[in-house]
Amino acid sequence: MDSSENRSEGSSEAGFMRLFLRHEPVLRAYARTILPNWESVDDALQEASVTMWQKLGQLESEDGFLPWAKVIVRYKCLQIIDRLRRERPLLSDEVLKLLADEAEQTDAAAFATLRKALAVCLSEFSEPHQELLMAPYGHAGRVKELAEQAGKSANAFYKLLGRLREKLTVCVQSRVQAEGV
């Protein structure tokens, strides 16, 4: 496909959505290295997607989408950081720049390998253990809710969560090493 075909493919609404959805996990992970919480990440990606759509004519080819999108996401993250700073102190600009630069160096293929390893390893856990592993990333207090439902103390569930995370980490690391990444 030549660049004019890439441009016309990517400039349609369907083409843009396909590109954005393909790269969203990497963009989301990139934004999370800069922003302090997932709510801010969601806001940044929403704002960035609107800007990307408005500036889609600047995109020269599909191959350039991810670097181009990262620039826009980074800019939106910095805008959100400025807003958050007015509410409470955050990391310095220098530290945020270092984190963003390091995240930018992360290879998309390595990220995909890591996601695949994580999915496989998570599937090896029972459904209740999967739910417990994911609980801290949902709404606040979910681990305590699960403990209450099971008739156990929250402390016991946090200890179990720690052991499950350790097993998950070992599994993911071994799968990633097996892939040679």
Q: Of residues 152 and 44, which shows the higher confidence score?
A: 44
Q: Of residues 12 and 53, which shows the higher confidence score?
A: 53
**In the structure, what pLDDT confidence band is assigned to residue 6 with cuts at 50, 70 and 90?**
very low
Q: What is the pLDDT of residue 2?
A: 39
**In the structure, what pLDDT confidence band is assigned to residue 4 with cuts at 50, 70 and 90?**
very low
Residues with Cβ within 8 Å of residue 104, at least 6 apart in sequence: 30, 70
CB atoms near residue 69 (< 10 Å):
23
Rounded to 10°, the helix 13-34/38-54 angle is 140
Residues with Cβ within 8 Å of residue 99, at least 6 apart in sequence: 33, 34, 91
Q: What is the pLDDT of residue 24?
A: 92
State if pTM tops 0.85: no
Tell whether the model's pLDDT for residue 10 goes beyond 80. no
